[in-house]
Amino acid sequence: MLKKYFLHAVFIALCSIPIAGNAQLGFCQGNSGSPIFSEDFGTGITNGPALPPGTTTYTYVDGAPDDGSYTIASSTAGYFDWFNIQDHTPDDVSGKAFIVNASFTPGEFYRRSITGLCENTSYEFSSWLLNLHPRMGAGCPNSGIPINVKFEIWDSTDTNLLASGDTGDIMDKTEAEWEQYALLFTSLPGQTSVILKMINNSGGGCGNDLAIDDIVFRSCGDLVTLTDTQTRNSIIQCEEDGPVPSLTLTASPDFSIFTSHFYQWQESTDASTWTDIPGETSDTYTTPVITTDRYYRVVVSEDLVNISNNLCNVNSEVFEIVFVPTPNPPSSIGDIRICENIETGLLTVRVPPGIRVDWYDAPSGGNLLASNTITYATEVPGTYYAEAVPNQAYCPSLSRTAVTLEFYPLPEVEDEDIRFCENEEVILDAGVSAVSYLWSTGETTSSISVTSEGVYTVEVRDSRGCSNVKTIRLTQVDAPVIDTVISEDDRIVIRTVNTGDFQYSLDGLNFQEEPFFEDMPGGLYTVYVRSDEECPAVQTEFFHLAVPKFFTPNGDGVNDFFEIQGIDALSDYEISLFDRYGKLIVNAKGEPLRWDGSYNNRLMPSGDYWYTVRIEDHTKQGHFALIR
């Protein structure tokens, strides 16, 4: 009821706004009676029929009308560049409208006699119009000729003009839009019929093409409101609150049209079918105690003789008394159990139309979490409660429906960083059982074998459909590549092609970080180099010649001889010593050389001497000092 009053007030306010050129038009600002005459031009998918003779001076065509022609159609598809429209009549199926292409010459294009009027009574004529030409349409590059229609009401002799009004220019629009226009007039004493005329104020040409629908005549009277002693205009209460006690309703006309008022109260159980309440003809009515839905209104006329004539009276606003039943609790579609990596759970219930749902954190009382929604989204597991409430009034369900959100834990995985040795095969394992697997390689086993470094992932999914992803970062440990092993006097020095955190050994057991070994006696060695304690070492054999840098043949028993240690382990070798002039001093082949610093029993002087050592096909040479 409040909604009806609000819409009515908006309607009046809109109609009271002055519009240039058509200020004489206006809607009934009070209550209206039942339609005396209405024309909706019928239904059907075929055009026509033509209007009765005398209704229009335009020519009927079965298709798109040219200037000065019209049709009756349910669609304008394919008509020039016009909008393809449907009629205005609500709920029509293939409803038709009066489609007019205005004549080049302004003038009358519609005439209709309206009978059954009451004398000395105010009436409202209304009609819906639509400009068929789209703005910037192909037919008219600029705005087309606007619609401009004059409405006239004449007496039945067609000699006295009772009322007239112009719509003013109705410009074309980007979308088809039906617009309603109305004209008020008062019948004269003894007058029971009038003539309606519609006149084209604009010329024909590009534009001025219109559709007309839903022409209606109805009586117009005061705005009559109904209130009870508490100034209420409706009562909507919960059914469980019991019956509504007897009410005294008062009809209050606004005296905008009628100077006197006669009443007949009516009641209804469905707001559709109304019956008179015998003997209730004053401006007040006292209801009985009410236990079911009931609607009241009053029929009002200015003269007593018209109170029973629906062509002359008007109906007041309706006072409604509605009992809102307590709804059942919402129906749950079930508790929600989702995987914990799904951030939000959506709880859902169902209610019939006209019922809203409010969500709470407790089975009664508690905090309101969400209103007017059948769903509630939350990231917090727990039990939530849905309450059903009718839209008409706060009559909540007697209980709330519990819906629980539970998060399933994901399969537990642990990321790994793994180092592996070059040229080795690595087994990667998901680390969790009783799930399905999908590796980034496409494999579906719990473990896979790989030989290349990189980042590998495996998605593990349990029987509930919850999945988690394990990431394994696999880094290859490059194996060292031995370049050379050299003897530097009594040192063994190892050089590699590549670099890294390498470790070095001469026995395969004891490793060190430095690539050299000091004070090593000559002999055959196996050199080991590794990059990681878990990775196998690479190795190579190397013969270390421990050639002394000097010797002192002074007879003190210390370093009195020049000799190369370890060479006696070989079989194919040759050692040659030369003075600084290149003269061969001593030579030994296949046997150790032990030189005392003399030549032909003559002591050689202090100085630098040179040596050449051939081992199989390899030769090494260098120098040493003789010190006396």
> Percent of the chain at pLDDT above 70?
95
Tokens (6 digits) for 154: 């004449």
What's the predicted TM-score (pTM) here? 0.58
Strand duo 426-429 + 355-360: pairing: unpaired
What is the structure's pLDDT at 138?
64
Residue 85: pLDDT over 80? yes
CB distance 249 to 319 below 8 Å: yes
Give the confidence band of 33 by pLDDT, cuts at 50, 70, 90.
confident
Residue 620: pLDDT over 90? no
Which is higher by pLDDT, 597 or 34? Answer: 597
| 448 strand-pairing partners | 428
Polymer length of the chain: 628
What is the structure's pLDDT at 193?
92
DSSP 18-73: --TT-TT----SS-EEEEEEEE---B-SS--PPPPTTS-SSEE-SSS--TTEEEEE
Taking only the tens place, the pLDDT of each residue in 475-505 is 998 899 999 998 887 889 999 999 988 999 9
Taking only the tens place, the pLDDT of each residue in 199-227 is 999 876 788 899 999 999 998 999 999 99
Taking only the tens place, the pLDDT of each residue in 437-464 is 999 999 999 999 999 999 999 999 999 9
What is the structure's pLDDT at 170?
92
Residue 408: pLDDT over 80? yes
Which is higher by pLDDT, 372 or 145? Answer: 372
Identity (one letter) of the amino acid at 449? Answer: S
What is the structure's pLDDT at 450?
95
- The whole-angstrom separation of Cα 33 and Cα 27 is 13
C-alpha pair distances (Å), 164 with each of 55, 115, 149, 383: 19, 19, 11, 68
C-alpha pair distances (Å), 124 with each of 21, 198, 200, 249, 307: 19, 15, 21, 28, 19
CA dihedral for 183, 99, 20, 5, sign (positive or negative): positive
- The whole-angstrom separation of Cα 220 and Cα 606 is 146
Burial (CB < 10 A; 0-12, 13-18, 19+), residue 107, is middle
- The whole-angstrom separation of Cα 478 and Cα 491 is 27
CB distance 310 to 33 below 8 Å: yes
Q: How many CA atoms lie within 13 A of 186 on its CB side?
A: 8
> Taking Cα atoms as reference points, which of 334, 462, 460, 458 lies closest to residue 408?
462
CB distance 457 to 471 below 8 Å: yes
What is the structure's pLDDT at 117?
87
DSSP 3-state assignment of 527?
Answer: strand
Taking only the tens place, the pLDDT of each residue in 149-182 is 999 999 999 999 999 999 999 998 889 999 999 9
Residue 18: pLDDT over 70? no
CB distance 131 to 209 below 8 Å: yes
Taking only the tens place, the pLDDT of each residue in 510-525 is 999 999 999 888 778 8
CA angle, 188 as apex, 183 and 191 as ends, to 5°?
100
C-alpha pair distances (Å), 497 with each of 421, 454, 492, 500, 532: 17, 24, 17, 10, 17
Q: How many CA atoms lie within 13 A of 526 on its CB side?
A: 8
Taking only the tens place, the pLDDT of each residue in 245-292 is 999 999 999 998 888 999 999 999 999 999 999 999 999 999 999 999
What is the structure's pLDDT at 2?
31
DSSP 432-494: --SSEEEETTS--SSEEEE-S-EEEEEEEE-TTS-EEEEEEEEEEEPPP-EEEEEEETTEEEE
Give the confidence band of 101 by pLDDT, cuts at 50, 70, 90.
very high
CB distance 359 to 340 below 8 Å: no
What is the structure's pLDDT at 326?
96
| 540 strand-pairing partners | 527
Tokens (6 digits) for 527: 């050199």
Give the confidence band of 139 by pLDDT, cuts at 50, 70, 90.
low
Residue 71: pLDDT over 80? yes
Strand duo 550-551 + 618-626: pairing: parallel
Instruction: Name, in order, each residue with C-beta under 8 angstroms of 517's C-beta and a sequence gap of 6 or more.
Output: 491, 492, 504, 506
Taking only the tens place, the pLDDT of each residue in 579-615 is 999 999 999 998 889 999 999 989 999 999 999 988 8
Burial (CB < 10 A; 0-12, 13-18, 19+), residue 20, is exposed
What is the structure's pLDDT at 137?
64
Tokens (6 digits) for 28: 């009934």
What is the structure's pLDDT at 141?
63
- The whole-angstrom separation of Cα 228 and Cα 284 is 9
Give the confidence band of 15 by pLDDT, cuts at 50, 70, 90.
very low
The dihedrals phi and psi of 265, each to the nearest 5 degrees, come to -75, 145
Residue 533: pLDDT over 50? yes
Instruction: Name, in order, each residue with C-beta under 8 angstroms of 480's C-beta and a sequence gap of 6 or more.
Output: 496, 498, 500, 502, 529, 530, 531, 538
Q: Which residue has the tokens 């394994």?
A: 472
Mean pLDDT, to the nearest integer, of 469-476?
A: 95
CB distance 1 to 227 below 8 Å: no
| 355 strand-pairing partners | 390
